[in-house]
Structure 1
Amino acid sequence: METPNSPEAAATHLLDAALLHVAFDGWSDATFRAAVADSGVDMGLARALYPRKGVDLAIAYHKRGDQIMRERLAETDLAAMRYRDRVAHAVRLRIEAVEDREAVRRGTTLFALPMHAGEGAKLIWGTADAIWSALGDSSRDVNWYTKRATLSAVYSATVLYWLGDDSPGHQATWDFLDRRIEDVMGIEKLKAQLRDNPISKALSAGPLKFMEQIRKPKVPDDLPGQMMDRLRPKT
């Protein structure tokens, strides 16, 4: 493999090299060392790009899938689709962006560990946010949170189902996804009915007043570590 000549290229080379070893060693320190050896990237630069070694490689792989999903979704004509079908299509594109199912399986195992569970939840939330943002979601209130929390649950369940699905073309997974989306639509319909019910309005006046104060978070772009994040591959 040709030695990369920039941090961005080095990050991409390392991740590509790691994928050749993940099936055998997982997202581990051993995979990181093998990726460094195979890619020709200097160890110092490699550790600067991926300080937690295998964990950071797994994170980069997940984010690569998010970016592929965004690009494919941007090329899709969504105008003729119902909104629920747009969401289902985006989730499917995200799963189909996976190059290696074993890499996802190993990542699922890694982020199920207590010390990495928070990072895994953050990644799933990020995927849900990427989907809603790509679909043009403009909510800034409590709906920003509820949409992403609901989609995070749907995405997680669908990925776990897909990991064990051997049906032709993974059709069983897409049917499972459609059922989960239908469940969510049922919840949204019930919420709308409750909002229009005078008794429900009276009972929920206090909680709703509080929820009206909730807003989408604003994250500064000058936090420590942001510079290295910009150097890591997005695709």
Structure 2
Amino acid sequence: MNRLASAFSADRAALVAFVTAGDGPTSAILDALVAGGADVIELGMPFTDPMADGPAIQAANIRSLAAGTTTADILRIAAGFRARHPDVPLVLMGYANPMLRRGADWFAAQASQSGVDGVICVDVPPEEDDALGPALRGAGIAPIRLATPTTDAARLPRVLDGASGFLYYVSVAGITGQQQAAQASIEEAVARLKAATDLPIAVGFGVRTPDQAAQIARVADGVVVGSAIVEIVAAHGAAAPAHVIHFIRSLKDAIAQSRIPA
């Protein structure tokens, strides 16, 4: 969690980059994300029914599972990443079934041993925190929660209770990669969330271009990009890392410029 805390700075927004484990040359792609300047890495755990994900990440899940990717493989990828990049935060993102199949304590212990800093479990709501949250916290792993445009003032305290690392604001009421929320609505939501928590606010879903990332970076603590990276992997396969580095650098440069006074 110390790595996560250090990734977010008051004077710049962090770039949070997502890739699906087992889709393409994952370790090389992770290295490319770091080389391009990503501040936080989200490693997606492939699942057969990724209900929050759009076509690009759904297809990545299918490719990964068809290649035989297992939870043990993902943990090995995570451990290798941690050995190569001791200071870069790594977050596992996925669904409850793969995380809980062998029990929450087993998963949390294995993730901790693999150097994981945080976990986003999309389909375990805050009301069911006891399914996974205590095990993660006991292993020193941040349970990272999701807030959405429909998270109202009455429910937000429940979302924040027990959350750590950062708060992931899902900017659209929909699936990944399909649309981007209006900037005004993002600014309003970030202001509302910042009034309720000291956790960094990272905004994702629908962020595809450097210009979009820069706009969000002006108000948020972090910008999450996933589907656009996954599409590069799908298009270029084994040659994807070089293309990923170029794309990540373009995002990073835009974010860096976003808070420089005109």
TM-score over 0.5 for the alignment? no
Which is strand-richer, 1 or 2? 2
Which is helix-richer, 1 or 2? 1
Name the TM-score class by shorter chain: under 0.3
* Bigger-Rg structure (1/2): 1
Q: TM-score, normalised by structure 2?
A: 0.25
Q: TM-score, normalised by structure 1?
A: 0.27
